[in-house]
Amino acid sequence: MNLIKYITTAAAGLFCVGLLSIGVYADEPDIIPDITEKTTKQFVEETTVPDVSEASDVTTVSVDIDSIISTDILEDPKTETTLPEENMDGWQLKDNRWFYYNDGVPISGIVEIDGKFYLFAPNGALKTGWQTVNSIRTYFDYKTHQPVYGWISYMGNVYYNDEHYGKLTGMQDIDDNTYIFTDTGIMHTGFIKYQGYIYYCNENGIVIKGDDRYTPIGIAGTSYIISPSGKVHTGWQSINGLRVYFDTETAEPVYGWISYHGKYYYTDAEIGKYTGEHYIYNHPYRFDESGIL
Q: What is the pLDDT of residue 86?
A: 61
Contact 187, 179 (CB under 8 A): yes
Highest mean pLDDT among 66-75, 94-103, 266-275: 266-275
When the pLDDT of each residue in the chain is averaged and rounded to a whole number, the result is 78
Closest C-alpha to 127, from 135, 136, 117, 75: 117
Highest mean pLDDT among 39-53, 61-75, 246-260: 246-260
pLDDT average, residue stretch 134-146: 84
Q: Which amino acid is located at 205 in the chain?
A: G
Is residue 80 over pLDDT 80? no
pLDDT-based confidence at residue 250 (cuts at 50, 70, 90)? very high
**Stronger pLDDT, 280 or 10, i.e. the higher one:** 280
> What are the tens digits of pLDDT across the range 162-205?
999 999 999 999 999 999 999 999 999 999 999 999 999 999 99
User: Residue 186, Cβ neighbours under 10 Å: how many?
Assistant: 18
How far is it, in rounded angstroms, from Cα 120 to Cα 117?
10
**Stronger pLDDT, 127 or 143, i.e. the higher one:** 127
Contact 203, 195 (CB under 8 A): no
Closest C-alpha to 267, from 284, 242, 286: 242
User: Residue 223, Cβ neighbours under 10 Å: how many?
Assistant: 15
**Stronger pLDDT, 76 or 119, i.e. the higher one:** 119
pLDDT-based confidence at residue 142 (cuts at 50, 70, 90)? confident
Highest mean pLDDT among 24-33, 39-48, 143-152, 194-203: 194-203
Q: What is residue 230's DSSP assignment?
A: -
Q: What is residue 207's DSSP assignment?
A: B
Is residue 101 over pLDDT 90? yes
Q: What is the pLDDT of residue 93?
A: 85
Backbone angles phi, psi at 39, to 5 degrees: -65, -45
pLDDT-based confidence at residue 87 (cuts at 50, 70, 90)? low
Q: What is the pLDDT of residue 119?
A: 87
Strands (DSSP E) along 84-155, which ranges?
90-94, 97-102, 105-106, 109-113, 116-120, 126-127, 129-133, 136-140, 147-148, 150-154
Is residue 106 over pLDDT 80? yes
Is residue 25 over pLDDT 60? no
